Amino acid sequence: MTTLVWLRDDLRLEDHPALAAAAEDPDGAVVVFLLDEDSPGIRPLGGAARWWLHGSLRSLGEELAALGIPLVLRRGAAAERIPELAAESGADRVVWNRRFGAGRALDAAVADRLREAGRRVSSFRGSLLFEPGSIVTGQGTPYRVYSAFWRACLSAPAPPVPLPRPAGLRAATRQPASDALDEWRLLPQRPDWAGGLAERWSPGEPAAALRLDRFLRERADRYAADRDRPDADAGSELSPALRWGELSPRTVWHRAIAAGVDAGMFLSELGWREFAWHTAAHEPGLHERGLNPQFDAFPWRTDPGPELAAWQRGETGFPFVDAGMRELWRTGFMHNRARMVTASFLTKNLLVDWRIGEAWFWDTLVDADAASNPFNWQWVAGCGADAAPYFRIFNPSAQAQRFDPEGEYAGRWAPESLLIPEIVDLRASRIRALAAYDAMRAGAQPDASPAASSGAEPGAKPSD
């Protein structure tokens, strides 16, 4: 039996159930990565993600080549290309690790086509700690509150122990022709804006394993205390590896526990990723519509003009915001605390539609995935699952005093920000945002124009 392994966001060898299954077949395997930006519901990758994908595929190709197995690269709509590849290779079976969100329906369509052609199909649990549908409320519905969701996860049987690299994996005799990776032009052309990405990151499973080792050895014991400090270098920096499946969440989970460190807070961050994907499994299209339909009537500014450009360039005049946005542009990454503050500033101080900010992060983050990116933007904007109350508006100046008290983070990324005129009055814009929220709830049409900057502040809690 020959098995075709269809790779997606699981670009690794360790803890890869689909590859492990293929290693059991006597006639070998065909390993395929399909660049699918044509299927309905599949969102084309942003620029930073394409850069990472190029490096990760190159790394995986080298790892497989060392085993004598080519990595076959093709592009096109999966419902067409995967059956074609199965026919070209004479594969009796096609296997993959399950995905969720919009990809679930596509996978079902591909499976139907393959079975119609007489081929076996197997899918495996490999991208999450817990399968969507296995963690539900007592009424059988998805959780909408994270704390309850995570308690249910921790009460469930522990995630399986990670699988070793598949021993005995070998190449099938009939290997389809492969595209050349460089022909896909995933890397930026002219101008080449990816220099800062290359300085900070090395995509691929080997580099991801080293980052995990470094985190557990050097940072994990202070993660809970310093994780909100962008000046403290306490983060794991594992989110790109998890997004591309260079590490499985099960590997991270079990390695953290085995390391004997206080991993509770760290593992809860894996839980937040789970929460995003479990939500996306039930609510595909998170980047297009809010989970709370009440916000469909919110008067977002969809044409914010120069203020949006200032936010994107890191020229708002608020050093904490500007530092985050410049770190993002330079490295394809932003500290999580800065992500919350920059997103709050855009959606609440500037009243810009959260989808505009989400699209910018989608294009510039190396770790933007189809669940976490829109899920987190909805959380900040107030229209998502377990969303931050709308009146929680992150004051960037107060946030800087609390989490970057010496100004090290701001000084590293935006040293001249204090010389830039502030593009908005924080107090006035807060009043405007809360008035818009109250009017939305009352069914009125508030004034969300930039000039709407005066009036009595509604009864609300102090800003963070």
Residues tagged active-site: 269, 272, 300, 336, 354, 377
Find the DSSP H helices in 365-425: 372-381, 396-403, 408-413
User: Positive or negative, the Cα torsion across 401, 405, 411, 412?
Assistant: negative
Are 272 and 183 in contact, with CB atoms under 8 Å apart? no
Find the DSSP H helices in 135-221: 146-155, 195-200, 205-214
Are 322 and 413 in contact, with CB atoms under 8 Å apart? yes
Amino acid letter, residue 425: D
Instruction: With H, G, I as helix, E, B as strand and everything else as coil, classify residue 369.
Output: coil
Rg of the chain over Cα atoms, rounded to whole angstroms, equals: 23
The Cα 279–Cα 281 span in angstroms is: 5
Instruction: Phi first, then psi: give them for residue 262, nearest 5 degrees.
Output: -75, 90
The Cα 263–Cα 238 span in angstroms is: 15
The Cα 221–Cα 217 span in angstroms is: 8
